Structures are given as C-alpha cells and as structure tokens.
Amino acid sequence: MRALVHVTLKKDVLDPQGKAIQKASASLGYDAVKSVRQGKIFEIELDAAERQEAEAQLGELCEKLLANPVIEDYTIVSLES
Amino acid sequence: MRALVHVTLKKDVLDPQGKAIQKASASLGYDAVKSVRQGKIFEIELDAAERQEAEAQLGELCEKLLANPVIEDYTIVSLES
C-alpha cells in the first residue's frame, strides 16, 4: 500500500522557519505572501493486507518516529493499494 | 487565499533521509515499511484577487525560493479563497 502522511506544527506553535520564508518572499518582491507555515510530507510504501492494519501501523509510526506529538499534528492524507 | 504546496524530490533523485527513516522503522519492528520518501509542505496565505494571479505568483515563488527545480518537483495541491 502507498500512503501519504502530512506532519505539521500545531496551530499555536511558532514556526520561525515559515516566518523566515515569508520575509524572504517579501524581500524578493512577493508582498502578497502574508504567512507561511512549513511541514513535512512522507510517501510511504508498506506491506499490509488490510487498510485498517495499515492505518494502525502508520499511526504508531507517526507517534514514535515521524512526528513529535507534543508540538506536531499528523494526518494520513491518502492510503491506496 | 490559502494555498497548500508540496515539494518533493524528483523520482530519480536518491533520498538518503527517507532511507534512514525506513531503516529506523525496521529497527523499531515495522518491517512492513518498504520505502519512505520525504518532502516538504508549505501552507501559504496570500493576497490575490484572482485564482490565476495567485497560481502564477505561487509558481514563481516555488521556482525561486521554495524548491530547487534541478532536483525537486513542486505541486500546488490546493488553493482556496
């Protein structure tokens, strides 16, 4: 199965990297850019017979390895066989 | 307008960070994970009257700042007003 996972900072966590990108955009002349927040995306291929099993494994993997649950949210955006 | 942009390595570019995550998954007992590729996601708020104008600005921004077009692909995944 092929999964797409988004990991983003929680809404109330500051994102200095995003802020830096917004400032860089402005200095390049793109004043229209009001805010930028950066996150990570993972394309994961995994062997799983059932969708439910794959979702459970991906959830554990996000909690343990891909995201820091204290400051980040994760979403399994898509899961295709 | 609110845009979501994905930046990922081109298919034929090696992704050592993704490989490291796949190995880490295996060492945590998740042998089902066969491959991982990592990318970036940007949530961008921008002022634009028209959708077409926003898309053009985002395209330029990706080419100049957010992605390295030599090794990375970018996609405007969504654009909502």
Is residue A80 less than 8 Å (CB to CB) from chain B?
no
Which of A34, A60, A32 minimizes the C-alpha distance to A46?
A60
Q: Structural domain of residue B67, as residue ranges?
A: 2-80
Helix (H, G, I), strand (E, B) or coil at A2: strand
Q: What is the CATH number of the domain that holds A71?
A: 3.30.1280.10
Digit-coded pLDDT (tens) for A62-75: 999 999 999 999 99
B48 with A38: Cβ contact below 8 A: no
Residue A68 · residue A27 · CB < 8 Å: no
Number of domains in chain A: 1
Digit-coded pLDDT (tens) for B15-55: 999 999 999 999 999 999 999 999 999 999 999 999 999 99
Q: Tens-digit pLDDT profile for chain A (81 aa)?
A: 999 999 999 999 999 999 999 999 999 999 999 999 999 999 999 999 999 999 999 999 999 999 999 999 999 999 998
Complex-level ipTM:
0.91
Residues in B touching A21 (Cβ below 8 Å): 42, 65-66
